[in-house]
Structure 1
Protein backbone atom coordinates (compact mmCIF):
# COMPACT_ATOMS: atom_id res chain seq x y z
CA UNK A 1 0.00 0.00 0.00
CA UNK A 2 1.16 3.52 -0.76
CA UNK A 3 1.54 6.22 1.90
CA UNK A 4 -1.27 8.75 1.37
CA UNK A 5 -1.58 10.19 4.88
CA UNK A 6 0.75 11.83 7.39
CA UNK A 7 0.16 12.38 11.09
CA UNK A 8 1.47 15.15 13.33
CA UNK A 9 3.15 13.97 16.53
CA UNK A 10 4.41 16.86 18.66
CA UNK A 11 6.13 18.95 15.95
CA UNK A 12 6.95 16.10 13.59
CA UNK A 13 5.00 15.09 10.50
CA UNK A 14 5.10 11.29 10.57
CA UNK A 15 4.20 9.12 7.55
CA UNK A 16 1.60 6.43 8.13
CA UNK A 17 4.23 3.78 7.32
CA UNK A 18 6.14 4.65 10.50
CA UNK A 19 3.04 4.28 12.64
CA UNK A 20 2.15 1.01 10.91
CA UNK A 21 5.66 -0.34 11.51
CA UNK A 22 5.69 0.61 15.20
CA UNK A 23 2.28 -0.98 15.80
CA UNK A 24 3.41 -4.08 13.89
CA UNK A 25 6.51 -4.53 16.05
CA UNK A 26 4.60 -3.97 19.29
CA UNK A 27 2.04 -6.63 18.35
CA UNK A 28 4.76 -9.00 17.09
CA UNK A 29 6.71 -8.60 20.34
CA UNK A 30 3.57 -9.38 22.37
CA UNK A 31 2.72 -12.38 20.20
CA UNK A 32 6.21 -13.88 20.44
CA UNK A 33 6.30 -13.30 24.18
CA UNK A 34 3.00 -15.15 24.58
CA UNK A 35 4.06 -18.07 22.37
CA UNK A 36 7.79 -18.41 22.94
CA UNK A 37 8.49 -16.50 26.13
CA UNK A 38 10.31 -13.35 27.20
CA UNK A 39 13.76 -14.49 26.03
CA UNK A 40 12.86 -14.75 22.34
CA UNK A 41 10.60 -11.70 22.46
CA UNK A 42 13.59 -9.67 23.66
CA UNK A 43 15.75 -11.08 20.85
CA UNK A 44 13.08 -9.90 18.41
CA UNK A 45 12.97 -6.45 20.02
CA UNK A 46 16.78 -6.25 19.85
CA UNK A 47 16.57 -6.98 16.13
CA UNK A 48 14.06 -4.17 15.70
CA UNK A 49 16.29 -1.81 17.68
CA UNK A 50 19.33 -2.58 15.51
CA UNK A 51 17.25 -2.22 12.35
CA UNK A 52 16.03 1.24 13.37
CA UNK A 53 19.45 2.43 14.54
CA UNK A 54 21.20 1.36 11.31
CA UNK A 55 18.35 2.79 9.23
CA UNK A 56 18.54 6.15 11.03
CA UNK A 57 22.34 6.44 11.14
CA UNK A 58 22.76 5.34 7.53
CA UNK A 59 21.73 8.86 6.52
CA UNK A 60 25.42 9.59 7.07
CA UNK A 61 26.10 7.42 4.02
CA UNK A 62 23.12 8.41 1.91
CA UNK A 63 23.18 12.17 2.57
CA UNK A 64 26.56 12.96 4.12
CA UNK A 65 26.61 16.60 3.02
CA UNK A 66 23.34 17.37 4.83
CA UNK A 67 24.58 15.75 8.03
CA UNK A 68 27.78 17.81 7.88
CA UNK A 69 25.82 21.02 7.37
CA UNK A 70 23.33 20.19 10.11
CA UNK A 71 24.21 17.31 12.49
CA UNK A 72 20.76 17.57 14.06
CA UNK A 73 19.38 16.14 10.82
CA UNK A 74 20.32 12.74 12.25
CA UNK A 75 17.24 13.07 14.44
CA UNK A 76 14.81 14.05 11.71
CA UNK A 77 16.06 12.09 8.69
CA UNK A 78 16.96 8.52 7.88
CA UNK A 79 18.77 6.49 5.24
CA UNK A 80 15.62 5.78 3.23
CA UNK A 81 15.18 2.49 1.42
CA UNK A 82 18.94 1.94 1.17
CA UNK A 83 19.31 2.44 4.91
CA UNK A 84 16.43 0.05 5.59
CA UNK A 85 18.10 -2.69 3.54
CA UNK A 86 21.38 -2.02 5.33
CA UNK A 87 19.51 -2.51 8.59
CA UNK A 88 18.12 -5.83 7.38
CA UNK A 89 21.61 -6.95 6.35
CA UNK A 90 23.00 -6.01 9.77
CA UNK A 91 20.25 -7.89 11.63
CA UNK A 92 20.69 -10.93 9.34
CA UNK A 93 24.42 -10.90 10.03
CA UNK A 94 23.82 -10.80 13.77
CA UNK A 95 21.38 -13.71 13.56
CA UNK A 96 23.91 -15.74 11.58
CA UNK A 97 26.64 -14.91 14.09
CA UNK A 98 24.49 -15.82 17.09
CA UNK A 99 23.39 -19.03 15.38
CA UNK A 100 27.00 -19.99 14.61
CA UNK A 101 28.02 -19.32 18.22
CA UNK A 102 25.05 -21.43 19.43
CA UNK A 103 23.53 -18.43 21.19
CA UNK A 104 20.42 -18.82 19.05
CA UNK A 105 18.69 -22.19 18.94
CA UNK A 106 16.43 -23.63 16.24
CA UNK A 107 13.45 -22.60 18.36
CA UNK A 108 14.82 -19.06 18.53
CA UNK A 109 15.13 -18.91 14.75
CA UNK A 110 11.56 -20.17 14.42
CA UNK A 111 10.42 -17.48 16.87
CA UNK A 112 12.16 -14.78 14.82
CA UNK A 113 10.51 -16.04 11.64
CA UNK A 114 7.14 -16.02 13.35
CA UNK A 115 7.87 -12.46 14.44
CA UNK A 116 8.69 -11.48 10.84
CA UNK A 117 5.40 -12.98 9.64
CA UNK A 118 3.38 -11.13 12.29
CA UNK A 119 5.20 -7.86 11.60
CA UNK A 120 4.51 -8.04 7.89
CA UNK A 121 0.86 -9.07 8.34
CA UNK A 122 0.09 -6.34 10.88
CA UNK A 123 2.02 -3.75 8.88
CA UNK A 124 0.00 -4.50 5.76
CA UNK A 125 -3.32 -4.33 7.62
CA UNK A 126 -2.33 -1.07 9.34
CA UNK A 127 -1.34 0.46 6.00
CA UNK A 128 -4.81 -0.34 4.71
CA UNK A 129 -6.42 1.26 7.77
CA UNK A 130 -4.22 4.38 7.73
CA UNK A 131 -4.18 5.16 4.01
CA UNK A 132 -6.57 5.64 1.11
CA UNK A 133 -6.78 3.07 -1.65
CA UNK A 134 -9.04 1.05 -3.92
CA UNK A 135 -11.49 -1.10 -1.98
CA UNK A 136 -10.66 -4.31 -3.83
CA UNK A 137 -6.94 -3.86 -3.11
CA UNK A 138 -7.64 -3.21 0.56
CA UNK A 139 -9.85 -6.29 0.84
CA UNK A 140 -7.35 -8.56 -0.91
CA UNK A 141 -4.52 -7.26 1.31
CA UNK A 142 -6.37 -7.67 4.61
CA UNK A 143 -7.92 -11.06 3.81
CA UNK A 144 -4.71 -12.58 2.46
CA UNK A 145 -2.44 -11.43 5.29
CA UNK A 146 -4.90 -12.07 8.12
CA UNK A 147 -5.58 -15.56 6.76
CA UNK A 148 -1.90 -16.36 6.42
CA UNK A 149 -0.99 -14.95 9.84
CA UNK A 150 -3.65 -17.12 11.50
CA UNK A 151 -2.69 -20.15 9.42
CA UNK A 152 1.01 -19.73 10.18
CA UNK A 153 0.33 -19.16 13.88
CA UNK A 154 -1.55 -22.47 14.01
CA UNK A 155 0.47 -24.62 11.59
CA UNK A 156 3.78 -22.93 10.72
CA UNK A 157 6.98 -24.67 11.78
CA UNK A 158 9.66 -22.57 10.10
CA UNK A 159 10.35 -25.09 7.34
CA UNK A 160 10.93 -24.11 3.72
CA UNK A 161 7.40 -24.95 2.45
CA UNK A 162 5.85 -22.54 4.96
CA UNK A 163 8.45 -19.88 4.22
CA UNK A 164 7.76 -20.32 0.51
CA UNK A 165 4.04 -19.89 1.14
CA UNK A 166 4.75 -16.68 3.06
CA UNK A 167 6.63 -15.30 0.07
CA UNK A 168 3.97 -16.50 -2.39
CA UNK A 169 1.13 -14.86 -0.46
CA UNK A 170 2.95 -11.55 -0.44
CA UNK A 171 3.72 -11.76 -4.17
CA UNK A 172 0.04 -12.42 -4.83
CA UNK A 173 -1.00 -9.39 -2.78
CA UNK A 174 1.70 -7.17 -4.32
CA UNK A 175 0.31 -7.83 -7.80
CA UNK A 176 -2.87 -6.07 -6.69
CA UNK A 177 -1.15 -3.18 -4.94
CA UNK A 178 -0.14 0.11 -6.66
CA UNK A 179 3.63 -0.36 -6.24
CA UNK A 180 3.43 -3.86 -7.66
CA UNK A 181 6.44 -6.17 -7.47
CA UNK A 182 8.87 -3.33 -6.73
CA UNK A 183 7.37 -2.52 -3.34
CA UNK A 184 9.90 -2.35 -0.48
CA UNK A 185 7.80 -4.53 1.90
CA UNK A 186 7.61 -7.27 -0.77
CA UNK A 187 11.34 -7.17 -1.46
CA UNK A 188 11.91 -7.32 2.29
CA UNK A 189 9.68 -10.39 2.57
CA UNK A 190 11.54 -12.13 -0.27
CA UNK A 191 14.93 -11.35 1.28
CA UNK A 192 13.79 -12.45 4.73
CA UNK A 193 12.24 -15.61 3.28
CA UNK A 194 15.39 -16.58 1.39
CA UNK A 195 17.48 -15.87 4.48
CA UNK A 196 15.37 -18.12 6.71
CA UNK A 197 15.31 -20.82 4.02
CA UNK A 198 19.10 -20.84 4.13
CA UNK A 199 19.04 -21.05 7.92
CA UNK A 200 16.61 -23.97 7.71
CA UNK A 201 18.91 -25.72 5.22
CA UNK A 202 21.92 -25.23 7.46
CA UNK A 203 20.09 -26.58 10.48
CA UNK A 204 19.04 -29.68 8.59
CA UNK A 205 22.61 -30.28 7.42
CA UNK A 206 24.06 -30.11 10.93
Structure 2
Protein backbone atom coordinates (compact mmCIF):
# COMPACT_ATOMS: atom_id res chain seq x y z
CA UNK A 1 0.00 0.00 0.00
CA UNK A 2 1.07 3.59 -0.65
CA UNK A 3 1.34 5.91 2.34
CA UNK A 4 -0.97 8.89 1.77
CA UNK A 5 -1.44 10.26 5.26
CA UNK A 6 0.76 11.67 8.05
CA UNK A 7 -0.06 11.91 11.74
CA UNK A 8 1.38 14.21 14.41
CA UNK A 9 2.13 13.04 17.95
CA UNK A 10 3.08 16.26 19.73
CA UNK A 11 6.23 17.44 17.90
CA UNK A 12 6.72 14.14 16.10
CA UNK A 13 5.18 13.59 12.66
CA UNK A 14 4.94 10.00 11.43
CA UNK A 15 3.66 8.44 8.20
CA UNK A 16 0.52 6.34 8.56
CA UNK A 17 2.53 3.20 7.81
CA UNK A 18 4.77 3.80 10.85
CA UNK A 19 1.73 4.49 13.05
CA UNK A 20 0.12 1.27 11.79
CA UNK A 21 3.25 -0.73 12.56
CA UNK A 22 3.58 0.64 16.10
CA UNK A 23 -0.10 -0.04 16.79
CA UNK A 24 0.24 -3.57 15.40
CA UNK A 25 3.22 -4.21 17.69
CA UNK A 26 1.24 -3.20 20.79
CA UNK A 27 -1.89 -5.17 19.84
CA UNK A 28 0.04 -8.35 19.01
CA UNK A 29 2.10 -8.10 22.21
CA UNK A 30 -1.15 -7.98 24.21
CA UNK A 31 -2.56 -10.98 22.33
CA UNK A 32 0.61 -13.03 22.88
CA UNK A 33 0.62 -12.07 26.56
CA UNK A 34 -2.90 -13.49 26.93
CA UNK A 35 -2.54 -16.51 24.63
CA UNK A 36 0.94 -17.85 25.52
CA UNK A 37 3.29 -18.05 28.51
CA UNK A 38 4.77 -14.67 29.50
CA UNK A 39 8.17 -15.74 28.17
CA UNK A 40 7.08 -15.51 24.53
CA UNK A 41 5.55 -12.04 24.77
CA UNK A 42 8.90 -11.01 26.26
CA UNK A 43 10.74 -12.49 23.28
CA UNK A 44 8.40 -10.55 20.98
CA UNK A 45 9.04 -7.34 22.91
CA UNK A 46 12.81 -7.83 22.55
CA UNK A 47 12.38 -8.41 18.81
CA UNK A 48 10.30 -5.23 18.51
CA UNK A 49 12.97 -3.21 20.33
CA UNK A 50 15.68 -4.58 18.04
CA UNK A 51 13.56 -3.83 14.97
CA UNK A 52 12.86 -0.23 15.98
CA UNK A 53 16.48 0.53 16.96
CA UNK A 54 17.96 -0.94 13.77
CA UNK A 55 15.33 0.73 11.58
CA UNK A 56 15.86 4.09 13.29
CA UNK A 57 19.66 4.11 13.33
CA UNK A 58 20.17 2.40 9.98
CA UNK A 59 20.08 5.91 8.53
CA UNK A 60 23.76 6.01 9.54
CA UNK A 61 24.29 3.44 6.78
CA UNK A 62 21.74 4.66 4.25
CA UNK A 63 22.56 8.36 4.51
CA UNK A 64 25.96 8.61 6.20
CA UNK A 65 26.86 11.97 4.61
CA UNK A 66 23.82 13.72 6.07
CA UNK A 67 24.41 12.27 9.54
CA UNK A 68 28.08 13.22 9.49
CA UNK A 69 27.17 16.77 8.48
CA UNK A 70 24.19 17.04 10.83
CA UNK A 71 24.33 14.49 13.71
CA UNK A 72 21.01 15.68 15.13
CA UNK A 73 19.35 14.42 11.95
CA UNK A 74 19.31 11.03 13.73
CA UNK A 75 16.41 12.33 15.79
CA UNK A 76 14.27 13.01 12.73
CA UNK A 77 15.24 10.49 10.04
CA UNK A 78 15.31 6.70 9.72
CA UNK A 79 16.69 4.15 7.29
CA UNK A 80 13.55 4.06 5.13
CA UNK A 81 12.82 0.92 3.11
CA UNK A 82 16.39 -0.33 3.32
CA UNK A 83 16.29 0.25 7.07
CA UNK A 84 13.12 -1.81 7.40
CA UNK A 85 14.72 -4.75 5.59
CA UNK A 86 17.90 -4.42 7.69
CA UNK A 87 15.75 -4.39 10.83
CA UNK A 88 13.93 -7.56 9.73
CA UNK A 89 17.27 -9.28 9.06
CA UNK A 90 18.60 -8.16 12.46
CA UNK A 91 15.55 -9.59 14.25
CA UNK A 92 15.86 -12.83 12.29
CA UNK A 93 19.53 -13.23 13.20
CA UNK A 94 18.72 -12.43 16.82
CA UNK A 95 16.07 -15.17 17.01
CA UNK A 96 18.23 -17.76 15.24
CA UNK A 97 21.22 -16.90 17.44
CA UNK A 98 19.16 -17.21 20.65
CA UNK A 99 16.99 -20.18 19.65
CA UNK A 100 19.04 -22.59 21.77
CA UNK A 101 19.00 -20.31 24.80
CA UNK A 102 15.28 -19.61 24.41
CA UNK A 103 14.61 -23.36 24.12
CA UNK A 104 12.10 -23.05 21.31
CA UNK A 105 9.51 -25.82 21.62
CA UNK A 106 6.18 -26.44 19.90
CA UNK A 107 4.57 -23.70 22.00
CA UNK A 108 7.33 -21.29 21.05
CA UNK A 109 6.95 -22.19 17.37
CA UNK A 110 3.20 -21.55 17.60
CA UNK A 111 3.84 -18.23 19.35
CA UNK A 112 6.22 -17.28 16.52
CA UNK A 113 3.62 -18.15 13.89
CA UNK A 114 0.92 -16.19 15.73
CA UNK A 115 3.27 -13.21 16.11
CA UNK A 116 4.27 -13.09 12.45
CA UNK A 117 0.79 -13.71 11.03
CA UNK A 118 -0.99 -11.28 13.36
CA UNK A 119 1.64 -8.54 13.07
CA UNK A 120 1.50 -8.59 9.28
CA UNK A 121 -2.29 -8.86 9.07
CA UNK A 122 -3.04 -6.18 11.66
CA UNK A 123 -0.43 -3.92 10.06
CA UNK A 124 -2.02 -4.38 6.61
CA UNK A 125 -5.52 -3.77 8.01
CA UNK A 126 -4.43 -0.57 9.74
CA UNK A 127 -2.56 0.67 6.66
CA UNK A 128 -5.78 0.25 4.68
CA UNK A 129 -7.81 2.12 7.32
CA UNK A 130 -5.30 4.94 7.83
CA UNK A 131 -4.53 5.64 4.15
CA UNK A 132 -6.46 6.23 0.95
CA UNK A 133 -5.63 3.72 -1.79
CA UNK A 134 -7.62 2.22 -4.70
CA UNK A 135 -10.83 0.69 -3.31
CA UNK A 136 -10.41 -2.67 -5.06
CA UNK A 137 -6.94 -3.23 -3.56
CA UNK A 138 -8.20 -2.24 -0.10
CA UNK A 139 -11.16 -4.63 -0.29
CA UNK A 140 -8.97 -7.51 -1.50
CA UNK A 141 -6.42 -6.86 1.26
CA UNK A 142 -9.03 -6.75 4.03
CA UNK A 143 -11.06 -9.71 2.77
CA UNK A 144 -8.28 -12.14 1.85
CA UNK A 145 -6.05 -11.50 4.87
CA UNK A 146 -9.02 -11.62 7.27
CA UNK A 147 -10.20 -15.00 5.99
CA UNK A 148 -6.67 -16.37 5.72
CA UNK A 149 -5.69 -15.23 9.22
CA UNK A 150 -8.81 -16.62 10.88
CA UNK A 151 -8.58 -19.99 9.12
CA UNK A 152 -4.86 -20.44 9.81
CA UNK A 153 -4.95 -19.40 13.47
CA UNK A 154 -8.06 -21.50 14.04
CA UNK A 155 -6.30 -24.58 12.68
CA UNK A 156 -2.72 -23.60 13.47
CA UNK A 157 -2.00 -26.71 15.54
CA UNK A 158 -2.96 -28.86 12.56
CA UNK A 159 -0.96 -26.91 9.96
CA UNK A 160 2.81 -27.54 9.97
CA UNK A 161 3.36 -24.98 7.26
CA UNK A 162 1.08 -22.19 8.48
CA UNK A 163 3.64 -19.51 7.67
CA UNK A 164 4.14 -20.86 4.16
CA UNK A 165 0.40 -20.79 3.50
CA UNK A 166 0.07 -17.30 4.95
CA UNK A 167 3.09 -15.87 3.14
CA UNK A 168 1.81 -17.24 -0.16
CA UNK A 169 -1.53 -15.54 0.47
CA UNK A 170 0.15 -12.28 1.44
CA UNK A 171 2.20 -12.27 -1.75
CA UNK A 172 -0.98 -12.77 -3.80
CA UNK A 173 -2.63 -9.88 -1.94
CA UNK A 174 0.44 -7.66 -2.47
CA UNK A 175 0.25 -8.23 -6.22
CA UNK A 176 -3.12 -6.40 -6.22
CA UNK A 177 -1.78 -3.43 -4.23
CA UNK A 178 -0.44 -0.21 -5.84
CA UNK A 179 3.22 -1.03 -5.12
CA UNK A 180 2.82 -4.65 -6.17
CA UNK A 181 5.48 -7.11 -5.08
CA UNK A 182 8.08 -4.34 -4.82
CA UNK A 183 7.26 -3.37 -1.24
CA UNK A 184 9.04 -4.06 2.07
CA UNK A 185 6.18 -6.20 3.41
CA UNK A 186 6.85 -8.88 0.79
CA UNK A 187 10.59 -9.03 1.46
CA UNK A 188 10.05 -9.09 5.21
CA UNK A 189 7.46 -11.88 4.87
CA UNK A 190 9.91 -14.06 2.94
CA UNK A 191 12.70 -13.41 5.47
CA UNK A 192 10.44 -14.27 8.42
CA UNK A 193 9.13 -17.36 6.62
CA UNK A 194 12.71 -18.64 6.26
CA UNK A 195 13.33 -18.00 9.96
CA UNK A 196 10.08 -19.77 10.85
CA UNK A 197 11.05 -22.84 8.82
CA UNK A 198 14.46 -22.89 10.55
CA UNK A 199 12.78 -22.69 13.96
CA UNK A 200 10.42 -25.53 13.02
CA UNK A 201 13.39 -27.72 12.10
CA UNK A 202 15.04 -26.83 15.41
CA UNK A 203 11.87 -27.71 17.34
CA UNK A 204 11.61 -31.09 15.61
CA UNK A 205 15.25 -31.91 16.42
CA UNK A 206 14.79 -30.64 19.98
CA UNK A 207 11.67 -32.75 20.56
CA UNK A 208 13.24 -35.83 18.93
CA UNK A 209 16.33 -35.49 21.11
CA UNK A 210 14.18 -34.88 24.21
CA UNK A 211 12.05 -37.90 23.36
CA UNK A 212 15.11 -40.11 23.10
Q: TM-score, normalised by structure 1?
A: 0.92
Q: Give the 3-state SS of the residue equivalent to 1:181 in structure 2.
A: coil
Q: Does residue 1:43 correspond to 2:46, yes or no?
A: no
Question: RMSD of the alignment, in Å?
Answer: 1.7
- Unaligned 5+ segments in structure 1 are none
Map of 1:190 onto structure 2: 190
Q: CA deviation at 1:67?
A: 1.2
Counterparts of 1:21-170 in structure 2, within 5 Å, are: 21-157=21-157, 160-170=160-170
Specify whether residues 161 and 57 from structure 1 end up closer, same or farther in structure 2 by C-alpha distance, changes over 3 A only: same
Q: CA deviation at 1:179?
A: 0.8
For residues 77-131 of structure 1, the C-alpha deviation after alignment (integer angstroms, 9 at most, x for no partner) is 1111222222112211111122133544342232122111111000100011011
Specify whether residues 106 and 94 from structure 1 end up closer, same or farther in structure 2 by C-alpha distance, changes over 3 A only: farther
Q: How many residues align?
A: 206
Q: CA deviation at 1:12?
A: 2.7
Q: More displaced, 133-142 or 108-117?
A: 108-117
Specify whether residues 127 and 183 from structure 1 end up closer, same or farther in structure 2 by C-alpha distance, changes over 3 A only: same
Q: TM-score, normalised by structure 2?
A: 0.90
For residues 144-196 of structure 1, the C-alpha deviation after alignment (integer angstroms, 9 at most, x for no partner) is 11112222221113955212111111011011101111111111111111221
Specify whether residues 15 and 189 from structure 1 end up closer, same or farther in structure 2 by C-alpha distance, changes over 3 A only: same
Q: CA deviation at 1:72?
A: 1.4
| Distance in 2, Cα, partners of 1:158 & 1:99 | 23
Q: Give the 3-state SS of the residue equivalent to 1:14 in structure 2.
A: strand
Contact 1:57 1:79 in 2 (8 A): yes
Q: More displaced, 124-133 or 141-150?
A: 141-150
Map of 1:201 onto structure 2: 201
Q: Does residue 1:181 correspond to 2:181, yes or no?
A: yes
